[in-house]
């Protein structure tokens, strides 16, 4: 059963097995994003509960213009970004002033990022800024398009491209710095 | 599956340990919301009437009920012409 079908049945009959199915499909994924973003197990557990509750309370608002997974992930990222902003007292995770960023000479290829070993990637993601981490997860973990990321972050597509470029550069730099002996 | 998705799988594996208890919490929160929504849906109009009654108001029964068999006002002229 595809996601939209499950949602229709849930909304019509409040069927418990539809809830189970969606929880099975997305519970772990939401948790994974929460722990990657918040870097704290207990916080990630609470966040997963709150995000899932939010999703189910707003299920009727899902308009099927995007994939259900994209909608779920955008709620998750927005929740985590809001939490981090509140915690860091209005820190701007995705600042607009890209003119302040240093010019990047050669773009890091996707292959270079996707060839990082999982144990290295875990450490690198922890070291990255919250905004950089989020944008890399959206692109490489969730397969979101530039357009989808731009709409989620309320930024222009060119700003998102620049952010991704910067984040990839930082990830490469961190890999060289943290895993010198393995490099 | 790329390295980012493998990492996601690792975290998902960790989540399986506590997933069941989290699920119960979510279900209980959702049923609480549902319960409150039902109460509002069923009892809110009655609460409104109750508050009006407490405030000293009562149902307005002075207006005469319209007689469904009577001629609607816009057709009264038509009826009188027909009788001629």
State pLDDT tens for residues A119-147: 999 999 999 999 999 999 999 999 999 99
So what's the pLDDT on residue B34?
85
So what's the pLDDT on residue A77?
94
Using alpha carbons, list the distances in angstroms from residue A119 to A33, A50, A55, A142, B49. 17, 29, 31, 19, 64
Give the closest of A28, A122, A141 to B19, CB-based: A28
CATH topology of domain A98-178: Arc Repressor Mutant, subunit A (1.10.10)
Residue of A nearest to B11 (CA): A32
| Highest mean pLDDT: which range of A60-69, A165-174, B37-46 | A165-174
Chain B residues within 8 A of A114 when measuring between CB atoms: 2-4
Residue range A3-87 in CATH 1.10.1740.10: yes
| Cβ-count burial A116-132 (b if 16+ within 10 Å, e if not) | beeebbeebbeebebbb
User: Mean pLDDT, to the nearest integer, of A147-176?
Assistant: 93
What's the number of CA atoms in the CB half-sphere (13 Å) around residue A183?
Answer: 10
Residue-wise pLDDT for A79-110, tens only, equals 999 999 888 765 666 665 554 455 555 688 99
Spans of all domains in chain A: 3-87, 98-178
Is A23 in CB contact (< 8 Å) with chain B?
A: yes
- Measured distance CA(B32)–CA(B28) in Å, rounded: 6
Q: Lowest mean pLDDT: which of A27-31, A44-48, B5-9, B13-17?
A: B13-17
Is B43 in CB contact (< 8 Å) with chain A?
A: no
- Measured distance CA(A94)–CA(A134) in Å, rounded: 10
So what's the pLDDT on residue A26?
93
Give the closest of A23, A31, A53 to B11, CB-based: A31
CA torsion through residues A165, A166, A168, A169, sign: positive
- Judge: A118–B6 Cβ closer than 8 Å, yes or no: yes
- Measured distance CA(A17)–CA(A34) in Å, rounded: 25
So what's the pLDDT on residue A163?
93
**Residue A160: closest CA among A144, A141, A142, A174:** A144
So what's the pLDDT on residue B38?
85
Give the closest of B7, B8, B23 to A23, CB-based: B23
DSSP string over A22-77 = HHHHHHHHHHHHHHHHH--HHHHHHHHHHHHHHHHHTGGG--SSS-HHHHHHHHHH
- Judge: A28–B30 Cβ closer than 8 Å, yes or no: no
Residue-wise pLDDT for A50-82, tens only, equals 999 999 999 989 988 889 999 999 999 999 999
Largest CA distance in chain A: 58
* pLDDT higher than threshold 70 for residue B37: yes
Percent of all residues in chain A with a pLDDT value above 70, rounded to a whole number: 89
Residue listed under structure tokens 């939209």: A4
A136, A167 contact by CB (below 8 A): yes
């Amino acid at each position: 059963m595809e996601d939209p079908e499950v949602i229709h049945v849930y909304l019509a009959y409040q069927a418990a097995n539809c809830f189970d199915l969606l929880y099975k499909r997305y519970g772990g994924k939401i948790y994974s994003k929460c722990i990657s973003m918040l870097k704290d197990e207990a916080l990630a557990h609470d966040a997963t509960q709150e995000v899932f509750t939010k999703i189910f309370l707003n299920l009727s608002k899902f308009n099927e213009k995007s994939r259900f997974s994209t909608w779920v992930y955008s709620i998750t990222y927005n929740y985590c970004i809001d939490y981090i902003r509140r915690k860091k007292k209005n820190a701007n995770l995705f600042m607009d002033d890209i003119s302040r960023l240093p010019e990047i000479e050669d773009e890091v290829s996707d292959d270079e990022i996707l060839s990082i070993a999982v144990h290295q990637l875990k450490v690198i993601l922890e070291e990255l800024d919250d905004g950089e981490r989020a944008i890399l997860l959206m692109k490489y973990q969730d397969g979101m398009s530039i357009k989808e990321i731009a709409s989620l972050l309320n930024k222009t597509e060119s700003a998102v491209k620049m952010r991704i470029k910067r984040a990839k550069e930082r990830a490469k730099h961190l890999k060289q710095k943290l895993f010198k002996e393995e490099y | 599956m790329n390295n980012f998705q493998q990492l996601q799988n690792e975290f998902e594996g960790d989540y399986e340990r506590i997933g069941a208890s989290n699920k119960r919490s979510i279900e209980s929160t959702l049923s609480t919301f549902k319960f409150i929504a039902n109460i509002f849906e069923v009892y809110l109009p009655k609460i409104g009437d109750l508050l009006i009654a407490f405030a000293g108001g009562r149902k307005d029964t002075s207006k005469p009920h319209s007689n469904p068999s009577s001629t609607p006002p816009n057709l009264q002229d038509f009826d009188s012409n027909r009788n001629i």
